[in-house]
Each structure stands twice: as structure tokens, then as C-alpha cells.
Amino acid sequence: MTTISSVTDVRGRVAARVVGRQRELELLLAAVGAGRDVLIEGPPGTSKSTLLGAITTEWGIPLVFVEGNADLTPARIVGHHNPARVLREDYSANNFVAGPLVQAMRSGGFLYIEEFNRAPEDTLNTLLTAMAERRVTVPRMGTVDALPTFRVVASMNPYDNVGTTRLSSSVHDRMCRLAITYQDAECERGIVALRTNNDAPRMIADAVALTRATREHADITQGSSVRGAIDVALVAAQLASLRSVPIPRAADVEPPRDLPEPYLAVMFDAMLVALSGRIHLDETVETTPESTLRTIWEDYFLLRPAAAAPG
């Protein structure tokens, strides 16, 4: 299952289900194919779950998902004995309820821990031991040996520093690392088209460009991922239909200067709904999400096309 040839097959089949990301897919497959555990570092919405879901589906193994947070204690990740049954029957292997780590080890799946750096220190230590030994020993239950395809894949947002632990060097020393960033605009247009069934290139190009601009704006510390662009396109299509506003045909990537005002209003309202909760403003700046989005909308539709026009 983890031989080089099957890794090559999997790459071909996964590539058909994912827009772009060939290099990341290749590096990730090489690491898990080599039997390694991996830490993926990247902001939200950068294909981490998509890649892992596609790889495990193609490999025919489970993807066991768990979110890293303060509640993810060692007992929760390993499992616990059902208290009611313990009262009746005393502790036994039969009344042990497997947690995600034991589930993934038993089934030879990938244990995918999002926001890894939000998990408590003792949970990280439990995981390190499981990664090193490929087995866990649970008191009054016994020892679980991991099937050969068991992997730990962790992810974290490198810009996240609320409620996080700085990962110790012993964690970093035991995992391979893949850094992942936002895709280019063309790939993001491909993703939005794929996920929305929206066949209006004008609206998709605008949704992607407006969302990408939130990542560049000086007053925004973290802008929106492609998830925001997907929602701008979905909400805008609904609004256009509710208001009977035609979607302009112009399919160029750059917005033309003569876009009708009702269409521009649809795009602004869709931005408000889809993006205002997704952008994180710099706390030292006195502004609102609405006015920041307004600037982005004006720069994109009203200032930029005029500036680009000849003469």
C-alpha cells in the first residue's frame, strides 16, 4: 500500500479531484508514502483537508478527524471506559470506547488533527509516544498496535497565536513539515467554479479578486480564504436572481469600466454577507469591516479599471 508505484497511481487519481496543488500533493504523498508523520502549516482554506480527504479515499483508508483545542485531553484522544458499564461490570477491554487515536491506529487510517498547536501539552506528548512506538497501552484495556498505514497528520495556522502552545522542538523533530500558502487567482477561479456550479465567469472573477484583495489590505491582519470567494459567488448569484439583475457577460479577468450599477451593488452586498465575518481587522485601526470592504470594492471596480485605461 505504501510502495512507490501505488504512490504514483494515487497521485494521478487525486490530481483529477483537486484544482492545482500538484507540488504539495507530491510532497505530501512522498512523506506519507515514506511512512512519516507530517505537520502541514498554512492558513485556513488552503486545501489541507481536500488533499488529505482525496489521498485517504484513493488509498481506501479512513481519515479520522479531530480538532485541537483545550478540551482535547489525552483521555479524549485515546479513549475512555464507559462509566455506567464500569459500575456494572468493572473495567474491561469490552467497555472501552476508542478515541480518535485508537480508532486511527486500529483501522490504519490517518489521524488528522487540525489546529494542532491548540492541543494541551500532555496530549501532544501522548501523540509523540504513539508516533514513536506505533502502539499505545491503555490501562485496564491493553495494547493497541497500529496498522502499517496509520499516520498522524497535524495542521496549524502559522498566524494563529491565540490560545496556542509554541510547539516544542521535540514535536518538530519528530515530524516532516509541509508549508502551504494561498493558490494563485486562476486556481481559485477554478475552485470557485467547481464548488458553486456558477457558470458566470464575470461573477467568479470578481468574487475571487475581491476576496484576494482582503489578504492585501493594510487594515486587515488576516483576510479571507477561498471559502469566502465561494460564498461571495453563491450569495451574489442568489441576490442577482432575487433582484432580477443580469450578470454582465464580459469574461475578461479584469473588470471593465462600464459594469452596470445594479451588478456592482449585488457584488458589494454579497461581500458584506460573505466576507465581513471572515476578515480580522488590525485592532489598532479605527475602522469597521463594512467600511474596509467598501474601500476594497471601490478600489477594484471604480478606481483600478479607470487607472488601467489608456489616455
Interacting residues toward Mg ion by CB under 5 A: 49
- Which of residues 114 and 206 has its CB atom nearest to ligand ADP in the complex? 114
The entry of Mg ion, ligand ADP, none near residue 62 (CB within 5 to 8 angstroms by kind) is none
Least Å distance, CB 116 to Mg ion, is 12
Q: Which is nearer to ligand ADP, 50 or 57 (CB)?
A: 50
50 and 18 in contact (C-beta within 8 Å)? yes
Tell whether residue 11 is a contact of ligand ADP (CB under 6 A). Answer: no
Angle of helix 4-15 versus helix 48-59 axis, rounded to 10: 120
Residues 142-201 contacting ligand ADP, CB under 6 A: 191, 194-195
Specify burial of residue 134 (Cβ count, 10 A radius: 0-12, 13-18, 19+): middle
Interacting span for ligand ADP (CB under 6 A) from 13-21, 76-84, 208-216, 259-267: 13-21
Give the length of the chain: 311
Binding of residue 19 to ligand ADP (CB under 6 A): yes
Binding to ligand ADP in span 112-141, by CB under 6 A: none
226 binds, among ligand ADP, Mg ion, none (CB under 5 to 8 A by kind): ligand ADP
Q: Does 222 bind ligand ADP (CB under 6 A)?
A: no
Q: Which of 31, 32, 47, 95 binds ligand ADP (CB under 6 A)?
A: 47
Tell which one of 31, 46, 130, 278 touches ligand ADP (CB under 6 A): 46
CA distance 282 to 186: 28
Separation of alpha carbons 192 and 96, rounded Å: 44
Dihedral angle computed from the Cα positions of residues 150, 129, 100 and 166, in that order, rounded to the nearest 10 degrees = -110
Query: Of residues 195-214, which lie at the interface with ligand ADP (CB under 6 A)?
Result: 195
Establish if 226 lies at the interface with ligand ADP (CB under 6 A): yes
By CB under 6 A, tell whether 49 contacts ligand ADP: yes
Interior/surface letters 23-60, b for 16+ CB within 10 angstroms, e for the rest: ebbebbbebbbeeebbbbbbbbbbbbbbbbbbbbebbe
Closest CA to 102 of 76, 68, 72: 76
Question: What would the DSSP string read from start to end of 53-65?
Answer: HHHHHHHT--EEE
Question: Any contact of residue 215 with ligand ADP (CB under 6 A)?
Answer: no
Assess 68 for contact with ligand ADP (CB under 6 A): no
Q: Which helix (H) or strand (E) holds 39?
A: strand 38-41
Q: Using CA atoms, how far apart are residues 111 and 96, in angstroms rounded to an integer?
A: 19
Quick one: what does residue 74 bind among ligand ADP, Mg ion, none, with the CB cut-off 5 to 8 Å set by partner type? none
How many residues at the interface with ligand ADP, by CB under 6 A? Answer: 16
Interface ranges with ligand ADP (CB under 6 A): 18-21, 44-50, 191, 194-195, 226-227
